[in-house]
A and B are shown apart, each in its own frame.
Chain A
Amino acid sequence: MTFRLAHQPARLSPKLRIFFKLPIFLTVLMILRLGIVKMNRQVDAIHAQTGLITAKNIDPSALFYTESDLALNAEKEVRHRMSASRVTGRR
Chain B
Amino acid sequence: MKTWSEDTVAILLGIVILCIAVLVFLLMPYAEVAQAVLSITPGLAGNLESWLTTADFGSGISVFLKTLLSGSRPSAWGSNPLTAFPPNVFIYALVLFALLALLLGVGVMLMKEKLKPFVKGFGFVFLVSVMAYLLAAQTEFRSIGLGYALWAIVLGLFIGNAFGVPDFIRPALKHELFIKTGLVLLGAEVLFGRMLAIGVPGIFVAWIVTPVVLISTFWFGQRILKIGSKTLNITISAGTSVCGVSAAIATAAACKATKEELTTAIGLSMIFTSIMMVAMPAFINAVGMPEILGGAWMGGTIDATGAVVAAGAFLGDTALNVAATIKMIQNILIGVLAFGVAVYWTAKVDRSAGQDVTAIEIWNRFPKFVLGFIGTSLFFSLLYEVLNSDVAIVLIDNGVLDFSSDVRTWLFCLAFASIGLSTNFKELSAQFSGGKAFILYFCGQSLNLGLTLLMAWIMFYKVFPEITNSLS
* A residues at B contact (CB < 8 Å): 18, 21-22, 25, 29, 32-33, 36-37, 40, 45-46, 48-50, 52-54, 56, 58-68, 70-72, 74-79, 81-82, 84-86, 90-91
Of all chain A residues, the one with the shortest Cβ separation from B303 is A63
B297-344 CB contacts (< 8 Å) to partner A: 304-314, 317, 320-325, 327-328, 331
Instruction: Say yes or no: is B107 at the interface (Cβ < 8 Å to chain A).
Output: no
**Chain A residues near B139 (CB-CB < 8 A):** 54
Given known contacts A21-B163, A75-B197, is B145 in contact with A61 (CB within 8 Å)?
A: yes
By secondary structure, the A interface counts as: helix
Q: Which of these binds chain A: B35-43, B253-261, B463-471?
A: B463-471
Of all chain B residues, the one with the shortest Cβ separation from A25 is B158
Of all chain A residues, the one with the shortest Cβ separation from B138 is A33
Contact B307 A60 (CB under 8 A): yes
Expressed in whole angstroms, the Cα–Cα distance for A78 and B310 within the complex equals 17
Expressed in whole angstroms, the Cα–Cα distance for A47 and B309 within the complex equals 17
**Chain A residues near B140 (CB-CB < 8 A):** 33, 36-37, 40
Q: How many residues of B contact A (CB 8 A)?
A: 66
Contact A66 B402 (CB under 8 A): yes
Given known contacts A50-B144, A81-B470, is B320 in contact with A63 (CB within 8 Å)?
A: no
From the candidates A21, A50, A63, A91, name the one contacting B304 in the complex (CB within 8 A): A63
Contact B138 A74 (CB under 8 A): no
Contact B278 A64 (CB under 8 A): no
Expressed in whole angstroms, the Cα–Cα distance for A77 and B305 within the complex equals 17
Instruction: Say yes or no: is B385 at the interface (Cβ < 8 Å to chain A).
Output: no
Q: Which of these binds chain A: B58-66, B146-154, B224-232, B345-353?
A: B146-154
Instruction: Say yes or no: is B282 at the interface (Cβ < 8 Å to chain A).
Output: yes
CB distance from A55 to the nearest CB of B (A): 9
**Chain A residues near B469 (CB-CB < 8 A):** 85, 90-91
From the candidates B246, B278, B304, B327, name the one contacting A45 in the complex (CB within 8 A): B278
Instruction: Say yes or no: is B287 at the interface (Cβ < 8 Å to chain A).
Output: no
Q: Which of B146, B163, B198, B328 has the most CB of A within 10 A?
A: B328
Expressed in whole angstroms, the Cα–Cα distance for A44 and B70 within the complex equals 33
**Chain B residues near A86 (CB-CB < 8 A):** 470
From the candidates B199, B243, B277, B323, name the one contacting A60 in the complex (CB within 8 A): B277
Q: Which of A50, A56, A61, A75 has the most CB of B within 10 A?
A: A61
Contact B313 A61 (CB under 8 A): no
From the candidates B150, B162, B186, B397, name the one contacting A72 in the complex (CB within 8 A): B397
Of all chain B residues, the one with the shortest Cβ separation from A83 is B470
Contact B321 A64 (CB under 8 A): no
Contact B325 A58 (CB under 8 A): no
Expressed in whole angstroms, the Cα–Cα distance for A40 and B278 within the complex equals 11
CB distance from A30 to the nearest CB of B (A): 10
CB distance from B31 to the nearest CB of A (A): 25
Contact B304 A78 (CB under 8 A): no
Contact A71 B309 (CB under 8 A): yes
Contact A61 B149 (CB under 8 A): yes
Contact A82 B310 (CB under 8 A): no
Contact B246 A70 (CB under 8 A): no
From the candidates A58, A63, A91, name the one contacting B466 in the complex (CB within 8 A): A91
Contact B409 A67 (CB under 8 A): yes
Contact B305 A62 (CB under 8 A): yes
Contact A78 B197 (CB under 8 A): yes
Contact A75 B244 (CB under 8 A): no
From the candidates B148, B314, B328, name the one contacting A75 in the complex (CB within 8 A): B328
CB distance from B448 to the nearest CB of A (A): 18
Expressed in whole angstroms, the Cα–Cα distance for A49 and B145 within the complex equals 11
Contact A46 B321 (CB under 8 A): no
CB distance from A80 to the nearest CB of B (A): 10
Of all chain A residues, the one with the shortest Cβ separation from B320 is A74
**Chain A residues near B24 (CB-CB < 8 A):** none
From the candidates B189, B197, B314, name the one contacting A48 in the complex (CB within 8 A): B314
Contact B325 A78 (CB under 8 A): yes
Contact B321 A74 (CB under 8 A): yes
Given known contacts A25-B158, A59-B306, is B321 in contact with A77 (CB within 8 Å)?
A: yes
**15 A-B pairs in the complex with CB atoms less than 8 angstroms apart:** A18-B163, A22-B162, A40-B140, A53-B313, A58-B310, A58-B313, A60-B143, A61-B146, A62-B305, A63-B244, A64-B189, A68-B324, A74-B320, A74-B322, A78-B471
Expressed in whole angstroms, the Cα–Cα distance for A91 and B312 within the complex equals 25
B382-409 CB contacts (< 8 Å) to partner A: 397, 401-402, 405, 409
Instruction: Say yes or no: is B116 at the interface (Cβ < 8 Å to chain A).
Output: no
Of all chain B residues, the one with the shortest Cβ separation from A45 is B282
From the candidates A32, A40, A59, A74, name the one contacting B324 in the complex (CB within 8 A): A74
Expressed in whole angstroms, the Cα–Cα distance for A37 and B139 within the complex equals 10
B189-240 CB contacts (< 8 Å) to partner A: 189, 194, 197-199
